[in-house]
Amino acid sequence: MLAATVRLTRDIDLAEECVQDAYAQALTTWSHSGVPDRPSAWLTTVARRKALDELRRAVALRRRLPMLLIDEVEPPVKIGEFPDDRLRLIFTCCHPALNVDAQIALTLRLVCGLTTSEVARSFLISESTMAARITRAKKKIAAAGIPYRVPAASELPKRIDAVLAVVHLVFTAGHTAPSGSELVRRDLVERALDLTRMLRRLLPTDADVAGLLALIRLTDSRRATRTDAAGRLVLLEDQDRAQWDRDAIDEGIQLVREALRRRPPGRYALQAAIAAVHAEAPAWEATDWRELVALYDLLLTIWPSPVVALNRAVALGFRDGPAEGLAALDELGAEPALAGYGYLPAARADFLARLGRVAEAGSAYEEALLLTENASERDFLARRLERLREAWH
């Protein structure tokens, strides 16, 4: 509904105002005459009519209610209601002329319908900072003339990449919260899933969209087992696979197959295929490490990221043995992008411990602890270190 109104006003603030007015009108009208058959259509019609009035009179935006109150009452746009408008809105929010932080904030605020304070909380920054970020982004959209439309076919693949990157960032921020006390921020994971499902409905043949949806479903299928009753991190190796979400896995695997049909396969499809290998293994011992190393090799050719190389080294260690894995990890030691990355010393510590090199493993865990901010992950590393010291003495 917001999206449909923005198309008319080409001004997000004005559109929000009109949508808000329509809800206010609904409260009074519906209490007399009952709820109409198609309430969303009714609201959109009223909002657009109000937008037209505003445009005709060309009056400046009037603030009838404080911004906070508007935030409280404005509901999210329903998925699938006005698909073209929603798609336009996403492409506007994820326009490359906006920085990625602004893209994420705008997408959560305008496409997912989160309030400014919810968006702020999701990223652990103050509401006033987030409000300023969103205001600046909206102003830039209006002043710079960022268009409100689905990009032309020639630029579409690149622009879809930008949209998927934003959704993927929302998901990863939710799946492993960068800091804070909880490992998973459920709200962000749900938003990412909603957005990807919506993109899937809007772009049903896009292999990258299918790949990202598969990746999210497969990764999130392990949600119930990633922490124990006390909220402590449980490694993939120790998770109770009977509790994995089979529906999510089945859907994910079907989507992976579809996404992999495109040649060459995309980044999300390959990541999802990696998650699928784990999902299909009945037990940790039955994991197909050869397949995993092959998938990481393929992924590295299209996405040469040091983090992917790190994961490949770990898979290699499980395929060929901890000494080989350690050697592969040590090759990455000089990689500047991994210098502050806690997973590298954590992975080294694990292989060192498996090799019985307890003292070195201990200092690697200590290094990992210095570089890790998430409380669940810190607690996990501290427990590992403690167990190591007990075994040593």
Partner 1 sequence: MSQYLILIYEDEASYADATPEVWGQVSAAHAEFGEKYKASILGGNALQPTSTATSVRRDGADVTDAPFAETKEALGGYYLVEAADLDEAMSIAKDCPARFGGVELRPIMVFS
Q: Nearer to partner 1 by C-beta: 27 or 58?
A: 58
Q: Where are the beta strands (DSSP E) in 304-387?
A: none
Residue numbers at the binding site for partner 1 (CB under 8 A): 95, 97, 143-147, 151, 155
Q: E strand or H helix at 228, and its extent?
A: none
Nearest Cα neighbor of 200 from 214, 190, 221 is: 214
Q: Nearer to partner 1 by C-beta: 140 or 257?
A: 140
Q: How far is the CB of 357 from partner 1 (least distance, A)?
A: 49
Q: How far is the CB of 138 from partner 1 (least distance, A)?
A: 14
Q: Nearer to partner 1 by C-beta: 152 or 283?
A: 152
Q: How far is the CB of 206 from partner 1 (least distance, A)?
A: 20
Q: How far is the CB of 59 from partner 1 (least distance, A)?
A: 12
Nearest Cα neighbor of 266 from 303, 239, 236 is: 303
- The type of residue at 382 is A
Q: Nearer to partner 1 by C-beta: 154 or 301?
A: 154
* CA 200/CA 259 separation, integer angstroms: 12
Q: Nearer to partner 1 by C-beta: 140 or 319?
A: 140
Q: How far is the CB of 267 from partner 1 (least distance, A)?
A: 25
**Residue 165, CB-side half-sphere exposure with 13 Å CA sphere:** 15
Q: How far is the CB of 97 from partner 1 (least distance, A)?
A: 6
Q: With contact defined as beta carbons under 8 Å apart, do 19 and 9 qualify?
A: no
Q: How far is the CB of 144 from partner 1 (least distance, A)?
A: 5
Dihedral in degrees, nearest 10, Cα atoms 149, 155, 156, 157: -160
Q: How far is the CB of 139 from partner 1 (least distance, A)?
A: 11
Q: Nearer to partner 1 by C-beta: 155 or 240?
A: 155
Q: Residue with structure tokens 């990746």? A: 215
Q: How far is the CB of 147 from partner 1 (least distance, A)?
A: 4
Q: How many residues does the chain have?
A: 393
Q: Nearer to partner 1 by C-beta: 147 or 264?
A: 147
Largest CA distance in the chain: 81
- The type of residue at 355 is L
* Buried b / exposed e along 67-102 (16+ C-beta atoms within 10 A): eeebbeebeebeeeebeebbbbbbbbbbbeebeeeb
Q: Nearer to partner 1 by C-beta: 144 or 323?
A: 144
CB count within 10 Å of CB 27 equals 9
* CA 172/CA 189 separation, integer angstroms: 8
- Beta-bridge partners for 227: 233
Q: Nearer to partner 1 by C-beta: 161 or 187?
A: 161
CB count within 10 Å of CB 283 equals 8
Joined together, the tokens standing for residue 272 give 């999802």
